[in-house]
Amino acid sequence: MKRITLPLVTLLTCAAGLAQTVDIKMATMAPKGTPWYQALEKMNARWQQLSANKVRLILYSGTMGDEPEIVNKLRVNQIQAVALSGAGMSDIEPGVMALQIPLLIDSYEELDYVRDRIAPQLEKRIEAKGYIVLSWGDAGWVHIFSRTPVLRVDDLRKLKLFTWAGNTDELELWKANGFNAIAMPATDIVFGLANKLIDAVPSPPIYAEWNQCFTMAKYMNDMKWAPLVGATIVSKRSWEQIPAGNRDAMAKAARDGGAEMRSAIRGMGDKAVAAMTGGLAGKKADKLTVVHSDAAARAEWQRQTEAAYPKIRGKLVPADLFDEVVRIRNEYRARKPTR
């Protein structure tokens, strides 16, 4: 019987492939020490364990610019993975904004129900752009933080309102509805408040506490404007450099870490508000004041916001996804008659 042998060059090539280390540069705006960054560190450690140290993330926190800049670096392969908020994700796939339509979703239970059912469609669209979704995340509920109390819609129209730079359609929509919207990078929020370039910022309480913007925008409307979601993604090209036998376990580690992080974040929003209303080190000057919107004010916000939905649908959010999210939200509410 003949002995079958492989050419030496083939053996050397296979050995080199097995020994190759895959380094993936990942950027995020999440500060070190936050639950988002800690989740990435944990995922990195787990990936190294699963790959016998052949796959590692090189993490960059807050050094790659704001989210539009991060996305641009991803597109030209300066980095190969990102952890972004829904605002940044919309630069890659506008459909992600379907999960952040203002005053459409009002509880985490609704968000989970909708996201679980819409995520497969979003992930297919994102993969078609060349990226793999590793996990979905949350950043908390967006509230309006402002220099002066904002109770009704017209109170906000009087103020210079921060909006994300780079999204011209969103800026135009705010302005078309009578708001004095000012587009700037998210990295300039504190600078903008300190120099009175802006007076109001939509932000989750956790982020307002961490960047201390509440010490200048001392009023927070208690109405939940929208959930701020997020995602961790990797370029398909880099993902496919990882041996196929490792990918399922690494994908599971990423999703498990995302679920764990979401759970941690959801317990922190109320704690952040409590900390801010107590003031920094008990200083009265640094206290946040929560503005309560009564039923009449909330009805007015809802009415005027829903009047803008036709302009959001098809422009900021693809029409089919807008309709599908509304349908799923309504399906959830129909199953919860005691809401």
The overall average pLDDT reported for the chain is 89
In the chain, the percentage of residues whose pLDDT exceeds 90 is: 73
What is the pairing mode between strands 22-28 and 55-61? parallel
pLDDT value of residue 280:
63
pLDDT value of residue 4:
40
Mean pLDDT within 121-138: 96
Q: Read off the pLDDT of residues 148-164 as tens digits, 9 standing for 90 and up.
A: 999 999 999 999 999 98
Residue 279 lies in a domain: yes
Mean pLDDT within 317-325: 97
Contact 261, 39 (CB under 8 A): yes
- What the block records as the tokens of 222 is 């208690």
Residue 322 lies in a domain: yes
pTM of the model: 0.88
Residue 306 lies in a domain: yes
Q: Read off the pLDDT of residues 34-70 as tens digits, 9 standing for 90 and up.
A: 888 888 999 999 999 999 999 989 999 878 888 989 9
Residue 213 lies in a domain: yes
pLDDT value of residue 7:
44
**Domain enclosing residue 21, as ranges:** 9-334
Residue 220 lies in a domain: yes
Contact 136, 231 (CB under 8 A): yes
6 has pLDDT over 50: no
What is the pLDDT confidence band of residue 338, given thresholds at 50, 70 and 90? Answer: low
In angstroms, the first-to-last Cα distance of the chain is: 76
Domain with residue 323: its CATH number is 3.40.190.170
Residue 4 lies in a domain: no
pLDDT value of residue 63:
80
Contact 54, 22 (CB under 8 A): yes
In the chain, the percentage of residues whose pLDDT exceeds 70 is: 91
Q: Read off the pLDDT of residues 193-242 as tens digits, 9 standing for 90 and up.
A: 999 999 999 999 999 998 899 999 999 999 999 999 999 999 999 999 99
Number of domains in the chain: 1
Query: Which spans in the chain are helix H?
Result: 8-19, 35-50, 67-75, 86-92, 108-128, 153-157, 168-176, 189-194, 205-210, 236-239, 244-266, 269-278, 295-307, 309-312, 319-334
Query: Considering only CA atoms, which of 88, 84, 83 is closest in space to residue 57?
Result: 83
82 has pLDDT over 90: yes
Q: Read off the pLDDT of residues 277-320 as tens digits, 9 standing for 90 and up.
A: 986 666 666 799 999 999 999 999 999 999 999 999 999 999 99
DSSP secondary structure, 156-223, as one string: HHTSEEEEETT-HHHHHHHHHTT-EEEEE-GGGHHHHHHTTS-SEEEE-HHHHHHTTGGGTS-EEE-S
Residue 1 lies in a domain: no
Residue 274 lies in a domain: yes
